[in-house]
Each structure stands twice: as C-alpha cells, then as structure tokens.
Structure 1
C-alpha cells in the first residue's frame, strides 16, 4: 500500500495541475473571444456616443422651443 501511495499522490497532483491549467487557458480564451466580439459590435454600431447624443437632444429641444421675444 505504501508503494501505491507514493505513486498515486504525485499522479493526482499532476492531474490536478493539468486540470487547473486547462480551465485557466479555457477561461482566458473565452474572455479574449468575448472582448473581441464586444470590440467588433462597437465598431459596427458606431462606437460610444454619450456626450454627442445629449448635445443633440439639447439642440433639438432648443430648436423646438418657441421664441419668446
């Protein structure tokens, strides 16, 4: 039994290290893929436009407002 334990413990450690490495690489690839898809979707949608859209809304409201002179 002692010889079997001397072999089983290192083998279990190697298997555990391989599983951790596999999951780490898999999650890194998934994150990279999702970030790439996010970048592509932003490029096709025209990008980020927060202040410009609020300026457009303000200009529209000002133009629609009746002149009070």
Structure 2
C-alpha cells in the first residue's frame, strides 16, 4: 500500500471534522447571541412598535376634536 493511499483519506477526514467543528461552533454562537438579544429586548421592552400607536393617536385626536364645542 502506498503512503498516499492512506494519507489522502485521513486528510479528508480531518478536513471534514474541522469544517463540522467550525459549523457547529458558529451555529451555537449564533443561537446564543439570538437568545441574548431576545432576553435583552424582553427586559428593556425593545422590539418594534406596531402600527397601533398611530391608530391610537388618530383616535385621541378625534376624541379631542369631538369633545370641543
């Protein structure tokens, strides 16, 4: 058996193992950062406001307008 016939599959396995390790590590880092972001938004009331606020403003203006004689 030639040394190249053994070395090539071993190098391939090592390369695939390294790629798998980095892919799993980056996926875990991404999940953790998203969980941290969600926790931060929950604690600080973050996130986007819905369009309900503009509806509330219109309703408030209409109520003020209707209450004036």
Question: How does the TM-score come out when normalised to structure 2?
Answer: 0.68
Residues 11-34 of structure 1: CA deviation (Å, up to 9, x unaligned): 000000001100110010011001
Q: How many residues were matched structurally?
A: 68
- Deviating above 4 A after TM superposition, structure 1's stretches of 4 or more consecutive aligned residues are 52-58
CA shift for structure 1 position 52? 5.8
Q: Which runs of 5+ in 1 are unaligned?
A: 59-69
Residues 7-57 of structure 1: CA deviation (Å, up to 9, x unaligned): 100000000000110011001001100100010010011132254666788
What is the aligned partner in structure 1 of residue 38 from structure 2? 39
Q: Which runs of 5+ in 2 are unaligned?
A: 59-69
What is the aligned partner in structure 1 of residue 29 from structure 2? 30
